[in-house]
Amino acid sequence: MRPLDVDEPATVGPYRLLGRLGSGGMGRVYLGRSAGGRTVAVKIVHPHFALDEEFRARFRREVAAARRVGGAWTAPVLDADPDAPVPWVATAYAAGPSLAAAVTDTGPLPAHTVRALGAGLAEALTAVHELGLVHRDVKPSNVLLTLDGPLLIDFGIARATDGTASLTSTGVSIGSPGYMSPEQILGKGATGAADVFSLGAVLTYAATGEPPFRGDSSAALLYQVVHEAPELGSLAGELRDIAAACLAKDPSARPTPAELAHRLAPEGAARLITGGWLPGPLVEQVSRSAVHVLNLDTGETSHSGPVPFDTSAETEPPAPAASATGAGAFGPPPAMNPAEPPTPPPGKPFGDPTVVPAQRDAPPPGRVSVSMAAAATPVEGARGRRLSCTVVLAVAGALAAGGLGLGALLHPWSQGDGNEGGAGNTPSHSQAPTAASSAATGGTGAPDNSPSPGPIPARYLGTWQGQATALDGNLPIGTFRLTVHQAAVGAELGRLTQTDQLGGVCTDILTLKQMTPTKLIATSTGAKGNHGGCDPAAHQIELTPVGDDLKYTSDSSAEGNPVSRMSKVG
């Protein structure tokens, strides 16, 4: 992967770009990351294609079809914008080299790996062809090798360029010389049989390290594909017979992808993948690639080192460490003096992880891979991400030895919900409310068991907290803490603080939109002062009683449609 050049975009749609993975005749491919921490491959078409309306129409249809495939051996399409000034499409990122890179680095693949590769790709093509699509560009660089099996990428995108005026320009061709079928070269149209021809060439390359057609120029390659027999080299046995059948000049003489899949793996490709299908050097390479992507700089500024509390905070007893069964809750934060807020030292904005003073003399930092969730009540505007996944976190070496508790490392650094200008006067230090009492009253000073008169049923009032997930429950995203108080339609209903696994926070302001007998509907908008990783766009949320709990659901697709079942804590 190459770093971004100064003339390349830093973001595309909702994705921050981390580097360029490659480029081709249709566009450039970038590694991107969503605000929620999901890593994706973003393909941006070349700008001159954006001027061709016929290309846009075909691109739109093919992306829509690609969303429906979702096969086990293809990279699913997650997002796209065919109507953007420069169209783009985002697919799931797979940690692993392309077949072209793997063979270049480690040489030809062993026979059992080639068999599993062929079976997986044949099943992928079966799913694509059943939707009436033709890939048209099956080649080693469009095949990724992951620990879970091969993935066929970029299908449908080449199809979108067929017949557009842009492709009549000099130097542009559909497909890749040496892997294109004879009928593609001769302009006779491409059916599913063209993909089978390309698959035969890919299997030959994987097994021998050389393509079946070779030449010093594109013209020589194209001539060989149309008129000469393939060179199968060291291929032997059934794999040689399969490759030869795929490379037949007559499309009707080639097997179908379903026939190939059954011949290579009678019990299914997954059976061949189970237990490991890649040779040792590639397993190591894939693992290194995954760690490298995980450690990539996202462009967010992070700070390290202790951030001192003010005097009043240091006199308060430290919060208890997280219990083993506390779902990541670290207890109430220390009381701060609201009349005299502490001033952070230069370069140390609030929101950084803080080590309590008694534990500042920790041993030198080490590295440990952890997956965790932290509950805190940071100030509005603190750094953090709305969604996140497993992270590699630099922590004190004493953590592994038990010298530094995780609760101390992620100790909350402020109290309250960041509600600036909330109801009530600022109390003196001697009257500073605790986090629990402040949250329970919604900033009004009224106890939760005596709610002020208003339209909101008492069932909803108070402070709620629980773990949240996104992407249909597949991605843990930290802790949600919600305070609900009385409000009329169109007024502020409450605030939601969303604390991710690193203790970073985004704050949302909820405005009551509608009340029904079974739920509250509100508009959620990012608070001023949130950092750039928080989604500022307004979206709709619903609060629904479930037993003694309160269920939060959101229609924000940019955040993965978060859901949280929260229990009352105040």
Please give the average per-residue pLDDT across 249-269, as a whole number.
95
| pLDDT greater than 80 at residue 319 | no
pLDDT band at 300 (very low <50, low <70, confident <90, very high): low
CA angle 50/52/53 to nearest 5° reads 100
| pLDDT greater than 80 at residue 384 | no
| pLDDT greater than 70 at residue 526 | yes
Residue-wise pLDDT tens digits, 23-66: 776 788 999 999 888 899 998 988 888 888 888 888 888 787 77
Kindly report which listed range (15-24, 56-65, 434-443, 535-544) carries the lowest average pLDDT score. 434-443
Tell me which fold the domain 435-449+457-568 belongs to: Lipocalin (2.40.128)
| pLDDT greater than 50 at residue 294 | yes
Top mean-pLDDT range of 78-92, 383-397, 445-459: 78-92
Kindly report which listed range (45-49, 156-160, 176-180) carries the lowest average pLDDT score. 156-160
| pLDDT greater than 50 at residue 333 | no
Cα Rg of the chain (Å, integer): 29
Return the half-sphere exposure (C-beta side, CA atoms, 13 A cut-off) of residue 345. 10
Q: What are φ and ψ of residue 290, in 5° steps?
A: -65, -45
| pLDDT greater than 50 at residue 435 | no
Residue 350: the pLDDT is: 41
| Measured distance CA(495)–CA(535) in Å, rounded | 15
Residue 71: the pLDDT is: 64
Sheet strand arrangement including 88-92: 11-12, 15-23, 27-33, 39-45, 88-92, 77-81
Top mean-pLDDT range of 217-231, 250-264, 386-400, 450-464: 250-264
In the chain, % of residues over pLDDT 70: 66
Residue ranges of the annotated binding site for ATP are 43
CA dihedral 189, 192, 193, 195 (to 10 degrees): 100
Residue 502: the pLDDT is: 57
Q: Using CB atoms within 10 Å of the CB of residue 9, give its burial: 0 to 12 exposed, 13 to 18 middle, 19+ buried.
A: middle
Kindly report which listed range (206-215, 294-303, 374-383) carries the lowest average pLDDT score. 374-383
| pLDDT greater than 50 at residue 447 | no
Residue 299: the pLDDT is: 55
| pLDDT greater than 50 at residue 543 | yes
| pLDDT greater than 90 at residue 266 | yes
| pLDDT greater than 60 at residue 344 | no
Of 130 and 429, which is predicted with more confidence? 130
| pLDDT greater than 60 at residue 372 | no
Residue 114: the pLDDT is: 96
Top mean-pLDDT range of 62-76, 142-156, 218-232: 218-232
Residue ranges of the annotated binding site are 43
Residue 23: the pLDDT is: 78
Residue 552 Ramachandran class (φ > 0 left, ψ -120 to 50 alpha, else beta): beta
Residue 472: the pLDDT is: 79
Please give the average per-residue pLDDT across 256-282, as a whole number.
92
pLDDT band at 159 (very low <50, low <70, confident <90, very high): low
Residue-wise pLDDT tens digits, 101-149: 999 999 999 999 999 999 999 999 998 888 888 888 899 998 999 988 9
- The reply to whether the predicted model has a pTM over 0.85 is no
Tokens 């240091």 found at: 314
What is the set of active-site residues? 137
Please give the average per-residue pLDDT across 231-257, as a whole number.
95
| Measured distance CA(359)–CA(305) in Å, rounded | 12
pLDDT band at 2 (very low <50, low <70, confident <90, very high): confident
Of 183 and 537, which is predicted with more confidence? 183
Tokens 């099996």 found at: 149
Q: Are 45 and 32 in contact (CB under 8 A)?
A: no
Please give the average per-residue pLDDT across 356-371, as a whole number.
38
Tell me which fold the domain 11-294 belongs to: Transferase(Phosphotransferase); domain 1 (1.10.510)
Tokens 């809750």 found at: 329
| pLDDT greater than 50 at residue 358 | no
Of 322 and 522, which is predicted with more confidence? 522
Residue 46: the pLDDT is: 85
Residue 453: the pLDDT is: 63
Tokens 């605030």 found at: 495
Top mean-pLDDT range of 52-56, 294-298, 557-561: 52-56
Residue 58: the pLDDT is: 82
Closest CA to 481 of 469, 498, 493: 498
| Measured distance CA(375)–CA(464) in Å, rounded | 12
Closest CA to 326 of 376, 368, 363, 388: 376
Residue 534 Ramachandran class (φ > 0 left, ψ -120 to 50 alpha, else beta): beta
Closest CA to 98 of 62, 56, 143: 143
Domain segments of the chain as ranges: 11-294, 435-449+457-568
Mapping DSSP onto H, E and C, the string for 165-216 reads HHHHCCCCCCCCCCCCCHHHHCCCCCCHHHHHHHHHHHHHHHHHCCCCCCCC
DSSP 257-290: HHHHHHHH-TT-HHHHHTT--S-HHHHHHHHHHH
pLDDT band at 202 (very low <50, low <70, confident <90, very high): very high
Average pLDDT, the chain: 73
Residue 185 Cα distances to 139, 179, 338, 481, 523, angstroms: 15, 10, 75, 61, 56
Please give the average per-residue pLDDT across 153-167, as a whole number.
51
CB count within 10 Å of CB 5 equals 7
| pLDDT greater than 80 at residue 443 | no
Of 74 and 565, which is predicted with more confidence? 565
Kindly report which listed range (288-292, 346-350, 440-444) carries the lowest average pLDDT score. 440-444
